[in-house]
Copies of this chain bind each other. A is one copy, B any other.
Amino acid sequence: MDPRPERTGSREIRRANLSRVLRHVHEDGPASRAELTRRTGLSRSTIADLVGSLEAAGLVVEGDPAAAGGVGRPSPVVHPSADVVAIGVGVELDAVTLAVVGLGGAVEHRIRHEYEREPSAAATVEIVGRLVDGLERALSGSRVLGIGAAVPGLVSTADGLVRMAPHAGWVDEPIAQLLAARTGLPAFADNDANLGAAAESTFGAGRGLASLVYLHGGPSGIGSGVRLGGRAPTSANGFAAELGHTLVDPRGEACRCGATGCLETEVRFDLLLDVLGQERLDLRDVSASLRRAASPAVDAFVAEQLRRLAVGLRNAVNAFDPEAIVLGGFLGALFEEQPETLLDALRAQLMPPLAESLVVVRGALGEDRLLIGAAELALRDLLDDPLGG
């Protein structure tokens, strides 16, 4: 808290204004200079100057004015440069996914590398390294700002150190450092659900909201992340809000975290598979599968899972008082089957003023979520200080 980012000379204003303009075209898409003037409250001359600087740095491109303009001189449209990109990596149970994400959030060149058993940290980094090597041609001419990795586990944000990733069995693996060494790119890492929360907050279902709690249900458990004021909240270690380990039932099963009756042990993907009678199921297909299997038994199961989820959400809402809860993975699918079951159970446990304004929605980004969030890690420095510090 003490060595705070000095906000001093006029340079700082310049930096902040450049950041605002670049962020705007990154997050909200191309915008005319006139639009930027209105949105930022800056004067026309200042916007012209700022956009000029950003264009000179190759970060934005001014294009033809929108075809259907109103009266008045047409205002050139400022686009994010297609050549400025970051690489997003998602480490999952059964595969590593990787993609190139540009300023503006466009996802390109998705690659998926599957494996049977989760590889060691070093092996994972080597896999990623080879995939990045393979992109060399596709990336020629692009300015690659860095590489970000989404890892299921406790990740120390500041240094990209994976403190523990239970499913892969990683302990204290300096993933960011290893990735930087292998690829020669600036590298970052964070918890997968944290990055999912970031992506949904900036580009997905939480767009424009000041606060949200994101929960993702997958084969490896329930991860969660929080965004307050559009940012990750300040915390001691930068760990994600571990709502998967919030108490749901003290007499429940033992959890690998050491406690018992965690949300993650009570609401589980494998239970869902059992009920559906399936061995494997892609998270994208859960909704379809649920609809096909519709029956009283399945309905009852879904209702029961949603009621347990509501207990976990109660704690989340009491803690963060968020504007919205965003549900991803199979949690989103369960919710969409019986939204009222969850909402009723939640309302019954919340003080009315807390429940009133609360919105529960399903995540909007699907499986690109991780790639976008991870790449965003590598874009952040640029967005904060577009002309470099």
User: Using a CB–CB distance below 8 Å, which chain A residues touch chain B?
Assistant: 1-2, 6-10, 12-13, 16-17, 20, 40-42, 154, 156, 163-164, 208-211, 226, 228-230, 233-239, 241-243, 245-251, 257-259, 311, 314-316, 318-323, 348-354, 357-358
Q: Is the CB of B208 within 8 A of A234?
A: no
Number of copies: 2
Assembled-state Cα–Cα distance A352/B6 (Å):
34
Q: How far is the CB of A68 from chain B (nearest CB, A)?
A: 25
Q: Is the CB of A233 within 8 A of B228?
A: yes
For A10, A154, A235, the residue with the greatest tally of chain B CB atoms inside 10 Å of its CB is A235
- Can you show 15 pairs from A to B with CB atoms below 8 A apart? A1-B208, A2-B208, A8-B13, A8-B40, A211-B235, A228-B233, A229-B233, A236-B322, A236-B323, A237-B321, A242-B318, A247-B311, A247-B314, A248-B250, A257-B351
Q: Provided the pairs A163-B353, A319-B243, A354-B154 are in contact, do residues A311 and B235 lie with their beta carbons within 8 angstroms?
A: no
Q: Provided the pairs A13-B7, A211-B236, A319-B243 are in contact, do residues A350 and B229 lie with their beta carbons within 8 angstroms?
A: no
Secondary structure of the A contact surface, majority rule: loop
Q: How far is the CB of A343 from chain B (nearest CB, A)?
A: 14
Query: Which of B236, B245, B250, B358 is A318 in contact with, Cβ under 8 Å?
Result: B245
Q: How far is the CB of A6 from chain B (nearest CB, A)?
A: 5
User: Other than the known A7-B16, A258-B351, what 8 A-B pairs have Cβ atoms closer than 8 Å?
Assistant: A1-B209, A210-B236, A211-B236, A235-B322, A236-B358, A237-B357, A246-B247, A250-B311
